[in-house]
């Protein structure tokens, strides 16, 4: 089982804004989603607003941070929200009923800042979601030591099944960066097969394309990893290494390949092994669980929790928050 780490150790100061809410992320997001018809930008406030209906009858003007996803945009999720007192105060310039602050690390200075802001401005605070975030701590030990910590079945899926995979054909693992279109095509084929829709399309593709270009210019490393058998991609992972943290941003695999081989876990095993050999502090699985099982909990060595916090400003929404919490 992964062990708890204090938020400032799980996500140390030099990791803040290394990917999400970095200048590269914000610029890419604005170019991709700034003209979205469902939102209204408020650049001076650092937020955008959008219309929602509670219970299908109560109109609510919601707001969230520029760069964050929302029901209005469905953009790629930005985690590790980093806040300042000035940024929170600036949000009040715009008109909104509720401010949604996603993916704040629990017990962090950011959460305490939000709590203090809500109290000082007479805003009603509501926790809307709490979700674990998982990672492998790479700072001490080796890949062999890491494997020894895993349960027998998990170690089999993550590492030992490599032998069985090689029996299926010639196995290759490559970083196809900077051949973006080849990676997007392979990833989308796997994603559509598993989830019924492409991942890199429309505004999301614009966002990721602009983001990767900007990150490379800032010295980050991109790993567009394809795991192939007989030259056919069977699993794909997009990893981004920034300021000593390797973010496993997106992954997908062919779940019809072989019922005895978990391609997703095998591919992650290769990437974690490589991460131990590089200058990284953590290999970050990001938030969320798997389609069938919470596989991240089985292969992680450290975890924390994300909170999504909503702040109500309008009287009718404050009253509704109180009803929900009673």
CA–CA dist 158, 237 (Å, integer): 15
What is the rounded average pLDDT for all residues in the chain?
95
Q: Which domains does the chain have, with CATH numbers?
A: 3-133+305-325 (no CATH), 140-280 (3.40.630.30)
CA–CA dist 183, 227 (Å, integer): 11
Cα 108 to Cα 65, 101, 242, 285, 305: the distances in Å are 18, 14, 21, 19, 10
pTM equals 0.95
Cα 145 to Cα 3, 236, 284, 319, 322: the distances in Å are 16, 26, 18, 53, 49
- Please compute the mean of the pLDDT values over residues 102-119 and round it to a whole number: 98
Q: Which tokens go with 119?
A: 């109290």
Helices 180-195 and 202-217: crossing angle, nearest 10°? 140
Torsion angles phi and psi, residue 168, rounded to 5? -85, -15
Q: What is the widest separation between alpha-carbon atoms in the chain? A: 65
pLDDT in tens, 119-151: 999 999 999 999 999 999 999 889 999 999 999
pLDDT in tens, 302-318: 999 999 999 999 998 99
CB 301 within 8 A of CB 135: yes
pLDDT of residue 145: 96
3-state secondary structure labels for all residues of 23-55: HHHHHHHHHHHCCCCCCEEECCCCEEEEEEEEC
- Please compute the mean of the pLDDT values over residues 68-82 and round it to a whole number: 97
Confidence check: pLDDT of 292 > 70:
no
pLDDT of residue 291: 63
pLDDT in tens, 214-259: 999 999 999 999 999 999 999 999 999 999 999 999 999 999 999 8
Question: Band of the pLDDT at 326, cuts 50, 70, 90?
Answer: low
How does strand 98-105 pair with strand 245-253?
unpaired
pLDDT of residue 47: 98
């Amino acid at each position: 089982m992964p062990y708890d780490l204090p938020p400032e150790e799980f996500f140390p100061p030099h990791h803040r804004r290394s990917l999400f809410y970095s200048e590269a992320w914000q610029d890419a997001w604005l170019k991709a989603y700034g003209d979205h018809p469902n939102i209204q930008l408020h650049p001076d406030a650092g937020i955008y607003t959008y219309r929602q209906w509670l219970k299908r009858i109560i109109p609510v003007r919601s707001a969230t941070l520029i760069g964050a996803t929302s029901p209005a945009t469905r953009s790629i999720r930005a985690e590790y929200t980093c806040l300042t007192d000035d940024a929170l105060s600036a949000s009040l310039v715009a008109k909104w009923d509720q401010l949604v602050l996603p993916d704040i690390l629990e017990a962090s200075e950011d959460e305490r800042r939000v709590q203090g802001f809500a109290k000082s401005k007479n805003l009603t605070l509501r926790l809307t979601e709490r979700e674990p975030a998982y990672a492998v701590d790479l700072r001490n030990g080796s890949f062999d030591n890491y494997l020894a910590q895993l349960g027998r079945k998990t170690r089999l899926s993550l590492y030992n099944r490599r032998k069985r995979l090689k029996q299926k054909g010639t196995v290759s693992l490559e970083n196809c960066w900077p051949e973006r279109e080849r990676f997007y095509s392979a990833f989308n084929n796997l994603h559509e097969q598993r989830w019924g829709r492409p991942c890199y399309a429309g505004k999301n593709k614009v966002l990721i394309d602009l983001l990767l270009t900007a990150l490379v210019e800032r010295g980050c490393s991109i790993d567009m990893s394809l795991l192939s058998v007989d030259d056919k991609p069977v699993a794909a992972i997009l990893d981004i290494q920034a300021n000593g943290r390797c973010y496993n941003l997106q992954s997908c695999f062919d779940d019809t390949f072989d019922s005895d081989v978990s391609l997703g876990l095998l591919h992650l095993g290769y990437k974690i092994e490589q991460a131990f050999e590089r200058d990284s502090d953590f290999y970050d699985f990001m938030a969320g669980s798997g389609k069938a099982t919470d596989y991240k909990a089985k292969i992680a060595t450290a975890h924390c929790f994300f909170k999504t916090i909503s702040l109500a400003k309008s009287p009718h929404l404050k009253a509704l928050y109180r009803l929900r919490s009673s």
